[in-house]
Amino acid sequence: MAIDASIRDPGTAPAGGRASAGGTAADPAAAVGHREAVGAGGLQPVTGPTPGRFALRGDLLDFVADPAWGDVGSDAVRFRPDHWLLIEGGRIAGVQADEPDAGWTRDDQQGRLILPGFIDTHVHSPQLDVIASYGTELLDWLDQHTFPAELRYADAAHAESGASLFLDALIAHGTTAAVVFPTVHPVSADALFAAGQARGMRLIAGKVLMDRHAPDGLRDASVEQAERECRELIARWHGTDRLSYAVTVRFAPTSSPAQLAMAGRLCADDPSLYMQTHLAENRAEVKWVHELFPEARSYLDVYARAGLLHAKSVFAHGIWLDDADRAALHAAGAQIAHSPSSNLFLGSGLFDWRAAEAAGINVSIASDVGGGTSLSMLRNCAYAYKVQAMAGQRLTAWKALHAATRGAARALGLEREIGSFEVGCAADVCVWDWAVGAVAQRRAERARDLHERTFAFMLLADERNLVNALVNGVSRYERGAP
Residue 368 lies near Zn ion (rule: CB under 5 A): yes
158 binds, among ligand GUN, Zn ion, none (CB under 5 to 8 A by kind): none
Residue 220 lies near Zn ion (rule: CB under 5 A): no
Which is closer to ligand GUN, CB of 74 or CB of 343?
A: 343
What is the Cα–Cα distance from 184 to 320, expressed in whole angstroms? 26
250 binds, among Zn ion, ligand GUN, none (CB under 5 to 8 A by kind): ligand GUN
320 binds, among ligand GUN, Zn ion, none (CB under 5 to 8 A by kind): none
Which is closer to ligand GUN, CB of 124 or CB of 238?
A: 124
Residue 160 lies near Zn ion (rule: CB under 5 A): no
460 binds, among Zn ion, ligand GUN, none (CB under 5 to 8 A by kind): none
Handedness of CA 276, 261, 308, 322 (dihedral sign): positive
Residue 281 lies near Zn ion (rule: CB under 5 A): no
Which is closer to ligand GUN, CB of 84 or CB of 147?
A: 147
Nearest residue to Zn ion by CB is 368
What is the Cα–Cα distance from 67 to 132, expressed in whole angstroms? 33
How many chain residues interact with Zn ion (CB under 5 A)? 2
Give kind and range of the element (H or E) at residue 470: strand 466-471
Phi/psi for 277 (5° steps) reads -165, 180
- How many helices, marked H, and strands, marked E, lie in the chain? 16, 18
Angle of helix 223-237 versus helix 257-269 axis, rounded to 10: 30
Which is closer to ligand GUN, CB of 369 or CB of 458?
A: 369
What is the Cα–Cα distance from 183 to 153, expressed in whole angstroms? 7
What is the Cα–Cα distance from 132 to 374, expressed in whole angstroms? 9
Q: How far is the CB of 316 from ligand GUN (least distance, A)?
A: 7
Which is closer to ligand GUN, CB of 280 or CB of 426?
A: 280
SS3 of 63, please?
strand
CA triple 78-82-86, angle to 5 deg: 80
What is the Cα–Cα distance from 50 to 52, expressed in whole angstroms? 6
Kind of pairing, strands 243-249 and 202-205? parallel
User: Which positions lie near ligand GUN, rule CB under 6 A?
Assistant: 124, 138, 142, 146, 250-251, 278, 281, 342, 368, 371
251 binds, among ligand GUN, Zn ion, none (CB under 5 to 8 A by kind): ligand GUN
Which is closer to Zn ion, CB of 30 or CB of 208?
A: 208
- Give contact residues for Zn ion (rule: CB under 5 A): 316, 368
